[in-house]
């Protein structure tokens, strides 16, 4: 097993190469370059470059993995030198992968110190990164890498307008302006300020472009950004995820919804203030599975260029604000104060939804895919909003009981599908009149009957 000696080409041309690096290059029997797209790469004219890997893969991670594997195979023959832009230990993924391989005994790695673009950047910005608690992040993974940070941030690898656009869009409340640093240490270096909103419009980025963000007003959401990145990576790299569509995911969304409901049922048997760690952990797990389905559908939308998970969140945010004028509007009165207020809010909610969507009937928009009991409860609830509810009146419970009797009489006279449906429909009305969820009631009875059967079988 040979040794891979890793050297850094520095931030600019060969004038910033270290003496140690120059000596290693001259003595190396075989040399490899991550890329020739760097000013100092000309000191290695005969080196094998891995630029072809960038043409083969769709994702940078795949490129870096391929490069590291090729280096490991080459090192099996004899020692070699591997040169990377900047410093080997600053945002250099291929070196991270080589070090991981070295830890597992697959390759021997020696890393020589080198100057990075950071040294020049601090000089141009006139700051002490330690005193100012500056964090370095990768522009290609900004939404994740900058999650939870409020600055100051130095953002590297801002090599394209797409990266700049992603950076800008990942921050809800960006600063007024940022400093762009380009080609540091070269004769045509540029350091200038640009408005945040113009970041991806006025800047012509290249592979030696970075950003200085003195302060972020609003940190990027850490866990959600990390989760979205995971969904994206699974979609790109997992064989199962790659072939899914909105249609194929439908059954999984339904299944995860029911599993979440089951976890809710188990948790709801406890008092609200009671702590049961196992049940709460199970509920967290099932809600997470449901969240994955939502993020997956949003990922499919993003691939079409139609919408992203941010659009999903923004849509429901705007909708909730618009539908709560008593909280956010001119008529805000401190929220709902009791059961009567809650009923009034439910009616106003339906009115606002009808106005928003231009619905001609209270029945418009009721999803027919709901389970039958839930569908019956929903249409009864909607009908009450327009004064046509089942069992309305002063003695609502009595009216519902009378409705069931009438349905039973009809079934006796003409038994069939329709008459049984009327009995069930009136029974749903009775449950609602007693403020009981019919779905929960029937599910509970079914569960108790299952236990009775199991006991009898034993």
Nearest 5°: CA angle at 216, between 210 and 221? 100
- Ramachandran category for residue 125: left, alpha or beta (phi over 0 → left; psi -120 to 50 → alpha): alpha
Return the closest-CA partner of residue 145 out of 222, 74, 201.
222
Q: Are 296 and 236 in contact (CB under 8 A)?
A: no
Provide the β-strand partners of residue 81.
Answer: 5, 31
Q: Which tokens sit at 52?
A: 């072809």
Q: Are 3 and 175 in contact (CB under 8 A)?
A: no
- The CA distance from 11 to 26, in Å, is 20
Helix then strand then coil, % of the chain, to nearest 5: 55, 10, 35
Distance of alpha carbon 56 from the chain centroid:
27
- DSSP letter at 362 equals T
Backbone angles phi, psi at 289, to 5 degrees: -60, -40
Q: Which tokens sit at 148?
A: 């939870």
Scored b (16 or more CB within 10 A) or e, 259-289 reads bbeebeeebeeeeeeeeeeebeebbeebeeb
* Residue spans of beta strands (DSSP E) within 102-160: 108-111, 135-138, 153-156
User: pLDDT at position 350, please?
Assistant: 63
Q: Are 66 and 56 in contact (CB under 8 A)?
A: yes
- The CA distance from 65 to 354, in Å, is 54
Distance of alpha carbon 321 from the chain centroid:
23
Write the CB contacts of 401 (distance below 8 Å, at least 6 apart in sequence): 430
- The CA distance from 171 to 453, in Å, is 57
Q: Which tokens sit at 36?
A: 């020739």
- Map residue 203 onto helix, strand or coil: coil
User: pLDDT at position 334, please?
Assistant: 44
Q: Are 208 and 182 in contact (CB under 8 A)?
A: yes
Q: Which tokens sit at 175?
A: 């600063």
Consecutive H or E run containing 439: helix 438-457
In the structure, how many helices (H) and strands (E) does the chain have?
A: 19, 10
- The CA distance from 368 to 373, in Å, is 11
User: pLDDT at position 26, please?
Assistant: 93
Q: Are 216 and 171 in contact (CB under 8 A)?
A: yes
- The CA distance from 262 to 49, in Å, is 56
User: pLDDT at position 356, please?
Assistant: 62
Q: Which ranges of 358-386 would DSSP assign to H, the alpha helix?
A: 372-385
User: pLDDT at position 155, please?
Assistant: 94
- Map residue 92 onto helix, strand or coil: coil
Provide the β-strand partners of residue 179.
Answer: 193, 212
- The CA distance from 282 to 266, in Å, is 9
Q: Which ranges of 275-338 would DSSP assign to H, the alpha helix?
A: 277-304, 309-322, 325-328
Model pTM greater than 0.85? Answer: no
Write the CB contacts of 81 (distance below 8 Å, at least 6 apart in sequence): 4, 5, 6, 7, 24, 25, 28, 30, 31, 32
Return the closest-CA partner of residue 137 out of 124, 117, 154.
154
User: pLDDT at position 418, please?
Assistant: 79
Per-residue pLDDT 10s for the chain (458 aa) are 789 999 999 999 999 999 999 999 999 989 999 999 999 999 999 999 999 998 888 778 889 999 999 999 999 989 999 999 999 999 899 999 999 999 999 999 999 999 999 999 999 999 999 888 888 999 988 887 787 777 789 999 999 998 998 888 888 778 889 999 999 999 999 999 999 989 988 999 999 999 999 887 666 666 787 788 899 999 999 999 999 999 999 989 988 998 998 888 887 776 655 667 788 899 999 999 999 999 999 999 989 988 888 889 889 988 888 878 777 765 544 444 444 555 566 666 666 666 666 666 777 767 777 778 878 888 887 777 666 666 554 455 566 677 777 778 777 777 777 777 888 888 888 888 778 888 888 888 888 888 888 889 87
């Amino acid at each position: 097993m040979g040794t891979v000696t890793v050297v850094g080409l520095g931030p600019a041309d060969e004038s910033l190469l270290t003496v140690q690096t120059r000596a290693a290059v001259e003595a190396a029997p075989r040399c490899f370059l991550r890329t020739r797209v760097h000013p100092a790469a000309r000191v290695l004219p005969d080196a094998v470059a891995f630029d072809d890997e960038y043409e083969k893969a769709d994702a940078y991670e795949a490129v870096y993995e391929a490069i590291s594997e090729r280096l490991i195979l080459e090192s099996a023959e004899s020692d070699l030198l591997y040169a990377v832009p900047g410093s080997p230990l600053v945002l250099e993924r291929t070196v991270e992968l080589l070090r991981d391989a070295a830890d597992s005994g697959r390759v021997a790695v020696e890393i020589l110190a080198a100057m990075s673009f950071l040294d020049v950047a601090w000089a141009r910005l006139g700051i002490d990164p330690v005193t100012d608690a500056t964090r370095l992040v990768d522009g290609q993974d900004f939404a994740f890498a900058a999650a939870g940070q409020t600055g100051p941030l130095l953002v590297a690898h801002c090599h394209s307008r797409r990266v700049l656009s992603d950076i800008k869009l990942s921050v809800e409340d960006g600063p007024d302006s940022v400093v762009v640093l380009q080609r540091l240490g070269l004769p045509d270096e540029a350091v200038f300020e640009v408005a945040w909103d113009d970041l991806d419009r006025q800047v012509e980025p290249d592979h030696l472009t970075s950003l200085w963000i003195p302060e972020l007003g609003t940190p990027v959401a850490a866990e959600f950004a990390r989760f979205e990145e995971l969904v994206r990576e699974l979609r790109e790299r997992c064989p199962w995820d790659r072939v899914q569509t909105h249609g194929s995911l439908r059954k999984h969304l339904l299944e995860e919804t029911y599993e979440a409901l089951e976890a809710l049922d188990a948790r709801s048997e406890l008092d609200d203030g009671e702590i049961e760690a196992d049940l709460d952990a199970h509920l967290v797990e099932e809600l997470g599975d449901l969240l994955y389905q939502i993020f997956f559908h949003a990922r499919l939308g993003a691939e079409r260029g139609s919408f992203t998970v941010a659009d999903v969140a923004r849509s429901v945010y705007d909708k909730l604000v618009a539908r709560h004028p008593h909280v956010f509007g001119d008529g805000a009165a401190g929220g709902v104060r009791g059961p009567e207020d809650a009923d009034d809010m439910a009616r106003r909610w339906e009115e606002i939804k009808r106005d928003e969507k231009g619905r001609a009937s209270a029945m418009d928009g009721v999803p027919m895919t709901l389970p039958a009991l839930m569908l019956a409860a929903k249409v009864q609830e909607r009908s009450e909003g327009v004064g046509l509810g089942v069992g309305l009146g002063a003695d609502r419970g009595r009216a519902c009981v009378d409705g069931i009797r009438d349905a039973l009489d009809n079934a006796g006279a003409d038994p069939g599908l329709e008459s049984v449906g009327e009995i069930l429909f009136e029974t749903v009305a009775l449950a609602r009149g007693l403020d009981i969820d019919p779905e929960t009631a029937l599910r509970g009875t079914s569960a108790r009957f299952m236990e009775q059967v199991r006991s009898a079988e034993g």
